[in-house]
Amino acid sequence: MIACGIDSLEDIRSRVEAGKPLTFEDGLRLYESSDIFTLGELANSVRERLHGRRAFYNVNLHVNYSNYCILRCKFCSFYRPYSKHSGDADNGDGYELAIEEIVRRARAAYARGTTEIHIVGGLHPKLSFSYYTGMCRAIREACPHLHIKAFTAIEIIHFTRIAKPRLTIAEVLMQLYEAGLNSMPGGGAEIFDDRVHDEAFKAKVGEAEWFEVHRTAHELGIFTNATMLYGHVETPAERIKHLIKLREHQEISLRSRKSHFNCVIPLSFVPDGSALSHLPGPNGLDDLRTLALARLMCPNIPHIKAFWIMQTPKLAQVSLNWGVDDVDGTVVYYDITKREGGGTTHQELTVDRLRRLIREAGCTPVERDSLYQRVIRDDNTWSVEGAPWSVAYDATTER
């Protein structure tokens, strides 16, 4: 409905208020509307219906176990080609972490009160499947209640191929689960569209396989997240279609599977160092519009996360009134993009800073675990609501 050159959006408002799913055309009109205030207001109304003024964060540690990768995705500045003579092809900054080093980092973080370890890496051409199960088992043994959120759908497909003998997706997930895996992150989704796939990440498995992994995880009772990498070669229409596909998958998971997506994480493309570095990347309004759109197009996915590493802490803070209810966590080290942290991989926000960002946005900070249960801390233990266990930690170290 166009009035005086400005789309009034009133018909969309009534559908949002009635809890009706928005159509592709609704999404596009919202994205293209110059009335960014109504877009923010509508997204905030869904956010408040679901979560009131609560805003979630967690105390986590990211570990990227290796940057060697057999893929060459154009948006990625993280991968290094693998060479037997390390240093030849990768400028000397290719790496892979020994399981002992990963456990050392996990143990140190756990002792400081970290509740989640988020592990992803490149598709390594040489490591065997036992490296990944061994990694989960060793972390589980060292840190009994540390939530292991690990491996994107793309890595899971890679594991089915490197396992000897080859395994099905369900078999890979079951073996990882038995070794200690708790849930899966949402990476590797990029944009569900064949044109964008062929232009920006042609060699990577596509939409069908990504959804097959998440469908299998949901059937097995493993919770997962879902991402969307925006601001490169895709159009706003392709973003909206991506979000609708996530909503449709979630509808079935909620109806007939044991678990579902916990959150959508729209990832703001960081061009630096990638084969698409000539592109400008999203501006602040693109970021806000896309986060708000994610909230409005996927009302059946409980949480929308702004990942401050990519959207920046300032934009993540603003987005808390634009549909977002989660700002991820302390992170500590992040190798995939280096926007924060002065170009280093040390990218960390303390709990005090996260809570302040949230309070300054007019929200109430709530520490969550990886499944969005409330974390309860006293002077030197943490637990989650209803759990029969608690974990002792050193609360004198800054988290």
Binding site for ligand V47 (CB under 6 A): 75-77, 120, 152, 185-188, 190, 225, 227, 229, 265, 267, 269-270, 274, 307, 310, 328, 336-337
Cβ at position 371, least distance to ligand V47 in Å: 12
- Shortest distance (Å) from residue 161 CB to ligand V47: 18
Backbone angles phi, psi at 382, to 5 degrees: -130, 155
Cα-trace Rg, the chain: 21
- Considering the complex, what minimum distance in angstroms separates the CB of residue 355 from ligand V47? 19
Residue among 226 and 363 whose Cβ is closer to ligand V47: 226
- Write the CB contacts of 194 (distance below 8 Å, at least 6 apart in sequence): 206
The nearer residue to ligand V47, 122 or 299, going by C-beta atoms, is: 122
Give whichever of 38 and 253 is closer to ligand V47, judged by the CB atom. Answer: 253
By beta-carbon proximity to ligand V47, the closer residue of 75 and 159 is 75
Minimum Å gap between C-beta 227 and ligand V47 is: 5
Instruction: Please identify, using beta-carbon distances, which residue of 38 and 182 lies nearer to ligand V47.
Output: 182
Please tell me the distance from the alpha carbon of residue 197 to that of residue 203, in angstroms, as a whole number. 9
Q: How far is the CB of 280 from ligand V47 (least distance, A)?
A: 13
Burial (0-12, 13-18, 19+ Cβ within 10 Å), 130: middle
Name residues whose C-beta falls within 8 Å of residue 169's C-beta, 6 or more positions apart in sequence.
Answer: 156, 157, 160, 212, 213, 216
Q: Which is nearer to ligand V47, 190 or 340 (CB)?
A: 190
**Rounded CA gap, 277 and 275, in Å?**
6
Minimum Å gap between C-beta 396 and ligand V47 is 28
Q: What residues contact 97, with CB distance under 8 A and at least 6 apart?
A: 63, 65, 66
DSSP class of residue 343 equals: G
Phi, psi for residue 282 in degrees, rounded to 5: -70, 145
